[in-house]
Every structure is written in structure tokens, then in C-alpha cells.
């Protein structure tokens, strides 16, 4: 994930540097941003985590994160020269592993959490004035997701090896990126933070469960690196 971030930064820096100091200032896709509606798609990488708050202090649950990917569509409504409203429905895959401190047996200690989300953010994009063939922006908004792998309605819980999450969750998102204008398309790398607003944990039937009894709240947080084409 760090390598991807570094690569995006270096490519963006080189392109911006070339645009700032280039003598030729031919504007690519000059009328693209003047359309009231525009469409596109994106491919991306993500790194999901859990933010866990506990009722009492003690040994904490360890979250092992691993990168995964997402793919989605973009619908863009131009509000004015500097503000756009965007809908970005996507399919997001996430992998997290939990290690619970109160067990010796690996079967009880370890829980693999694989999630597949239908993720729908509604975002406001605030852009600067276009500089030759690039335009920086910040973006933010709210989103809802449907976890297809939540197991919320599964009657089995951790006592049977099943870790459960809520199916429907809400988030807020903030990020930034740069639009790059080429001859035939607009390419946009962006980085965004995603933060869960509600407790996502489905607790075990046993109120004294060693897996869930001491958890006050469990919320998703993550980082998206998206590559958009319009």
C-alpha cells in the first residue's frame, strides 16, 4: 500500500511539474468539465481497519490488515465551476484478521473477517481553478454500505467460530486528489479516508462472552486509493 501511495505521488509530482514549467499550454479535454452531467469508472486499492473501544482496560484485540481492491462507477453533477456533486457506487472487498488475547487455542483466538460491500457514497468535490492540464481538489461526504458477508442473521456466534457484523453501516469520507487532462480522457488519482459512524459488532448470545463482552464499540475505518477515468 505504501508503494502504491509513493508511486502515485511521484507520477503526479512529475506531471504537475511538467505542466507548471512547460512553455506549451495546450488544454486537453477543454470542455469536459463544462458538461452538466459526466460519467466514469474507477479502480482502486483499500486498506480496512477496525477502531475498537473497550468497556474496561486490559489486553487489546490485535487487528491484522491486508490490502484489497474495489471497482465502481461515477456519476458527476456539475454545480458550478468549482463544485461538483458525485455519486460513486462500488463493490469493495476488504480483509481483516482479529486475534483475541484471552485464548490459547488458535481456533478460538483467531477470527478471519472477509467482507464484500456494496458501497454508495454521496460526495461534494471542491476544485481549484484549472492550471494548464491539472486541477487539484478536496472531496468529502457521507456513505452507506451493505455488507454481503456480515453474517448478521447467522444464529451461530463466536462459540461456534462465527464472528458477526451488522449488514448496513454508515460512514463519513474525506480526501483529496488531482484531475489530469490527457488528449482522450481525464485521469484522477485520489486518496480518501473512510470512517464508520456506528457500532458494527453483533454480539454473542452469552453476555459474558470472552470475544465480545468487553467491546463497547467496533467501527470500520480505512484508506482508499482510487484511479478514476472519465
For the chain, which domains are there? Answer: 2-22+34-229 (2.40.160.20)
Does residue 64 have a pLDDT over 70?
yes
Q: Which residue has the higher pLDDT, 19 or 97?
A: 97
| Distance from C-alpha of 88 to C-alpha of 73, rounded to nearest angstrom | 6
The mean pLDDT of the chain is 90
Taking the model in full, what pTM does it have?
A: 0.84
First vs last C-alpha separation in the chain: 24
Q: Residue 81, SS3?
A: coil
Pairing relationship of beta strands 168-181 and 62-66 according to DSSP bridges = unpaired
pLDDT tens by residue, 19-32: 445 555 788 888 88
> Which residue, among 190, 176, 187, has the nearest Cα to 230 in the 3D structure?
187
The residue behind cell 507548471 is: 20
Does residue 125 have a pLDDT over 60?
yes
Mean of pLDDT values over 82-101: 96
Question: What are the grid coordinates assigned to 22, written together?
Answer: 512547460
Amino acid at each position: 500500500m505504501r508503494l502504491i501511495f509513493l508511486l502515485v505521488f511521484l507520477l503526479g509530482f512529475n506531471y504537475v511539474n511538467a505542466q507548471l514549467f512547460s512553455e506549451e499550454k495546450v488544454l486537453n479535454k477543454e470542455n469536459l468539465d463544462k458538461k452538466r452531467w459526466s460519467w466514469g469508472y474507477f479502480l482502486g486499492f483499500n486498506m480496512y481497519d477496525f477502531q475498537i473501544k473497550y468497556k474496561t482496560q486490559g489486553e487489546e484485540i490485535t487487528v491484522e490488515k491486508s490490502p484489497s481492491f474495489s471497482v465502481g462507477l461515477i456519476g458527476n453533477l456539475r454545480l458550478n465551476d468549482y463544485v461538483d456533486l458525485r455519486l460513486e457506487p462500488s463493490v469493495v472487498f476488504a480483509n481483516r484478521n482479529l486475534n483475541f488475547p484471552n485464548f490459547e487455542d488458535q481456533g478460538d483466538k483467531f477470527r478471519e473477517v472477509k467482507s464484500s460491500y456494496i458501497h454508495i457514497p454521496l460526495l461534494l468535490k471542491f476544485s481549484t481553478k484549472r492550471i494548464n492540464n491539472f486541477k487539484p481538489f478536496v472531496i468529502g461526504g457521507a456513505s452507506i454500505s451493505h455488507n454481503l458477508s456480515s453474517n448478521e442473521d447467522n444464529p451461530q456466534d463466536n462459540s461456534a467460530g462465527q464472528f458477526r457484523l451488522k449488514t448496513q453501516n454508515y460512514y463519513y469520507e474525506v480526501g483529496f486528489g488531482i484531475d489530469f487532462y490527457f488528449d482522450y480522457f481525464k485521469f484522477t488519482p485520489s486518496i480518501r479516508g473512510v470512517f464508520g459512524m456506528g457500532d458494527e459488532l453483533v454480539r454473542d448470545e452469552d453476555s459474558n462472552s470472552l470475544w465480545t463482552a468487553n467491546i463497547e464499540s467496533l467501527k470500520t475505518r480505512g484508506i482508499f486509493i482510487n484511479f478514476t477515468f472519465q
